[in-house]
Amino acid sequence: MFTKTKGFSLVEILIVVAIIGVLLSFWGLTLSSKQKEIRDISRIRDVQALRNGMEVVKNETGVYDKSYCELGLVSACAKVQTSELLRYVIGMASMKDPSGTTVDCTNNQVCENEVCDYTFTRMEEEDYEIKFHLEKGTGLYAQPGCYVANQYGISKK
């Protein structure tokens, strides 16, 4: 006589574990992609705030370079006490790439291929340029890579 025992066989348990593993890996990939998109949205928001601040500096002083920001990392401008831009961009001292990188975007190759921090690459009376990197792209800026913000808008480099 056979006695039927209740429970799962080893094969059934391994199949369930394998299915759960596959589902978790897909979920992890989706989560990673969403995190990149969220960081890109934050980057666009930060750069738009910088652009708006630069326009106020131009309207108030007549020129962009009265922001008194040096070429290099945008966050360094917050250390300049006389910076006009600091008056108009709230939280500029902590305005850094959301990934936490400290590499500047001066080098086009770096900017195109890896995450880099917001960088002033031109600052003149009638012109300025801020470079930054998008990991995935989002909205109007759907391509990953290097972008440039100036008085005319934001465009892919």
User: Amino acid identity of 152?
Assistant: Y
- Other CB atoms within 10 A of residue 106 CB: 15
pLDDT of 3 reads 62
Q: Go through the chain and tell me how many residues it has.
A: 157
> Rounded distance, CA 9 to CA 83, Å?
71
User: What are 15-28's pLDDT values in tens digits?
Assistant: 888 788 777 777 76
Residues 6+ apart with CB under 8 A from 105: 111, 116, 117, 118, 119, 121, 131, 132, 133, 146
Q: Please give the share of the chain, as a percent, with pLDDT higher than 90.
A: 65
pLDDT of 11 reads 80
- Quote the tokens at residue 53: 């601040």
- Would the pLDDT of 1 be above 60? no
> Rounded distance, CA 17 to CA 96, Å?
41
| pTM (2 d.p.) | 0.80
User: What are 62-120's pLDDT values in tens digits?
Assistant: 999 999 999 999 999 988 888 889 889 988 888 999 999 999 999 999 999 999 999 99
User: Which residues are bridge partners to 153 per DSSP?
Assistant: 150
